Structure 1
Amino acid sequence: MKVIFLTGSHTRHSYIAWRLHKANLLSGLLVEEREEFVPSPHAGLKEVDHHNFVRHFKDRSESEERFLSTPESDSIRGIPVLRVTMEELNSDKVKEWIQKQNPDVVLSYGVHKINKNILDILPKYAWNIHGGLSPWYRGNITMFWPFYFLQPNFAGMTVHHLTAQLDGGPIVHHSVPELVRGDGIHDVASRAVIQVAEDLIQILILLQDGKEINGQPQKNSGKLFTGVDWKPQHLRLVYNHFDNDIVDRFLDGEFGVQEPPLIKAF
C-alpha cells in the first residue's frame, strides 16, 4: 500500500511525517513551505495584549519543541520528497508528482486549500487531518477556541475525506488526547498531534489488512472559524483570567462536562 503525505514545514507537520515513516507507512512526502512559526505582535497593542501575544506564541514554540521535535539522526530518507511553495501547491508540477507516485492513500495536514484539479486525481482514500474537532470547531485556529469556550475536552483532531468544502468532508475518525493535569493550551495541542499520529497508524494498518474504512457525513455544520475571528485580546481570558490552568479547572469539574459524540474508525 502506497501512502503519500502532503504537509507543511512546521514541527507538528514534520512529527506526523516522521511517525508514519518510522512505522513504514510513508511512500512519498510533499512539504509546503509555511510562514514563520512565531509571528510578531501587532503594532498598537495595549501592554497586556502585547505581553500575552508574545507569551502565547513563545509557549507554543517551546511546547511543540518539547513534545514533537524528532531526532536529526532519524530524518526521513529513502522516499521521494517534493518541496513546494504555497503558490506551487496546486500546480501541474504537483499534479504530475502525485500521479507518478500512484498512491493508494493520500493524507494532507498543514497545507493550504487543495483545488479541484488536484482533488480530481486523488484515490478513494484521500483524507485531511484537521487540527480541531469537526463539526464543532472547523476552519482556523481551532485548537484555541475550545479553551476560550472552556471546553478543553473538545481540543482534538479530525481525519476526514478531502473535499472542496473546507473541513466539511465525511468524518473517518476523531482523535482526542488525554487531558493531563498541569498542561496548558499548547501542551494539549501537542498531545493531540501525537495521538492522531498513533491513530492514523492503526487506521492505515487496518486498510493494509483489507478493512474498508468509510466516513460519516457531517450532519451539523457547526462553526467555521476564520482568521479574522481571533484577536490578541481573546488571550486575556486564557492568561489573565485563568493563568492557563483551564485543564486543571476542567478536571476539577468547574466548567461541567459535555462530552463530544466522537466518530471512531477502530
Structure 2
Amino acid sequence: MKILLLTGSHPRHLYLVNELVKTGFVTAHVMEKREEFVPQPPSSLEEVDRTNFIRHFKERDEAEHRHFKGNDKVSVSLPTLEVTMQQLNSEKTIEWVKNQHFDLAISYGVHKLGDDLLEALPENAWNTHGGLSPWYKGNTTLFWPFFLLKPNWAGMTIHRLSSRLDAGDIVHHSVPELAHGDGLHDVACKAVIQAAKDLAQIVTTIELENIRYTPQKGNGKLWIGTDWMPQHLRFVYNTYNNDIVDQFLDGKLKKIEPTLISAFSKGE
C-alpha cells in the first residue's frame, strides 16, 4: 500500500503523519501551513470572556505541546509540497498530486478540498475529522460535546472524502478513554492519538478492497464557525471549571453512549 497524506502543520497534524510514517506506507505529503495556534482575544470582550478566551487557547497550546512533544516536524524525509490555504486547491497542487504514486489518500487538518483536487485522488480517499459524525460535523466539533455535557461523544471520524463537508461514508469512529483529571483539551489530544493508532492499525491489517463504508445516517448537525462564541466558554470554565470529565466519570452527568462504527468489526 502507498499512502498520500494531506495535513495541516500543527503538532497534532504532524503527530498523525509521524505515526503513519511508522507503517512504511507513506510515500508523499502535502502540508498546508496553518494559522497561529494561540489567537488574540477580540477587543470587544467583557473581562470574564477575555480571561476565559486567554485561558482556553493557552491551555490548548500547553496540551498540544504536552501530548505531541517532538512532533514539530516530520520525522523522515518525504516528497513534500508545502502550501498555503490559497494554494491548497491550485493547479500546481493538483499536478503535483497527480505525479505521485499512491492508492490511498488521507487528509487531516487541511481546509476543504475542491472538486478538481478530489478528482485527482483515488477511490479510497479518507478524511480524519475531529468530531463524531454525523452528530458533530463542521467546526469546533471537539468543543461542543463538552458544552452539551457529553464528553464521551468527543472523538474522531475517519470517513470517505466528499464534496459535502464531513458527509462521506464512514470507515471508523475513534474515541479516547476518559480519565479523571482530563480537561477539554486533554480529551481532544487523546482523541487524535487514538485516531492515529486506529488508522495505523487499519492500513496495516485490512486490505483496501475489504474496507467497509457505512453511509452517514441520523439527525446530525453541521456546526459552523459562527456557532461558537467566546461567551460559550463561561459554561466550561466558570460553571464547571473544566472538570466535566470528572463529573461524568463520577456519575453526576447522564451517560448516553454514541453508536459507533468500527473498521475492525466483522459486520453481518
Coarse TM-score class (shorter-chain normalised): over 0.9
Q: Distance in 1 between matches of 2:77 and 2:245?
A: 41
Query: What root-mean-square deviation, in Å, do the aligned CA atoms of Structure 1 and Structure 2 show?
Result: 1.3
Runs of 4+ deviating beyond 4 Å: none
Residue 98 of structure 1 corresponds to 97
Residue 129 of structure 1 corresponds to 128
Q: Distance in 1 between matches of 2:98 and 2:44?
A: 48
Q: Deviations over 1:45-77 (max 9, x none)?
A: 1111000000000000000100012267x8432
3-state secondary structure, aligned to 2:210: coil
Q: CA deviation at 1:11?
A: 1.1
5+ long unaligned stretches in structure 1: none
Within the candidate set 204, 213, 216, 1:215 is matched to 213
Q: CA deviation at 1:5?
A: 0.5
Q: CA deviation at 1:95?
A: 1.0
Q: Distance in 1 between matches of 2:227 and 2:82?
A: 31
Counting only pairs closer than 5 Å after superposition, residues 115-126 of structure 1 correspond to structure 2 as 115-126=114-125
TM-score (norm 2): 0.95
Counting only pairs closer than 5 Å after superposition, residues 60-139 of structure 1 correspond to structure 2 as 60-70=60-70, 75-139=74-138
Q: Deviations over 1:207-246 (max 9, x none)?
A: 4x56510210011251110110000110001000000000
3-state secondary structure, aligned to 1:253: coil
Q: Distance in 2 between matches of 1:71 and 1:175?
A: 21
Residue 29 of structure 2 corresponds to 29
Residue 237 of structure 1 corresponds to 235
Q: Which amino acid aligns with 2:60?
A: R
Q: Which amino acid aligns with 1:19?
A: E
Q: Distance in 1 between matches of 2:101 and 2:143?
A: 37
3-state secondary structure, aligned to 1:101: coil
3-state secondary structure, aligned to 1:106: strand
Is 1:263 the counterpart of 2:235? The answer is no
1:178 to 1:42, Cα distance in 2 relative to 1, 3 A: same
Q: CA deviation at 1:253?
A: 1.1
* 8 A Cα contact 2:15 2:71, kept in partner: no
Residue 56 of structure 2 corresponds to 56
* 8 A Cα contact 1:18 1:70, kept in partner: no
Q: CA deviation at 1:122?
A: 1.0
Residue 11 of structure 1 corresponds to 11
Residue 38 of structure 1 corresponds to 38
* 8 A Cα contact 1:132 1:158, kept in partner: yes
Q: CA deviation at 1:98?
A: 1.2
Q: Distance in 2 between matches of 1:134 and 1:210?
A: 22
5+ long unaligned stretches in structure 2: none
Q: Distance in 2 between matches of 1:161 and 1:97?
A: 22
Q: Distance in 2 between matches of 1:223 and 1:71?
A: 32
Q: Which amino acid aligns with 1:191?
A: K
Q: Which amino acid aligns with 2:99?
A: K
* 8 A Cα contact 1:5 1:28, kept in partner: yes
Q: How many percent identity over aligned positions?
A: 55
- Alignment size in residue pairs: 264
* 8 A Cα contact 2:3 2:104, kept in partner: yes
Residue 196 of structure 1 corresponds to 195
Q: Which amino acid aligns with 2:236?
A: V
3-state secondary structure, aligned to 1:86: coil
- The answer to which of 187-196 and 74-83 deviates more is 74-83
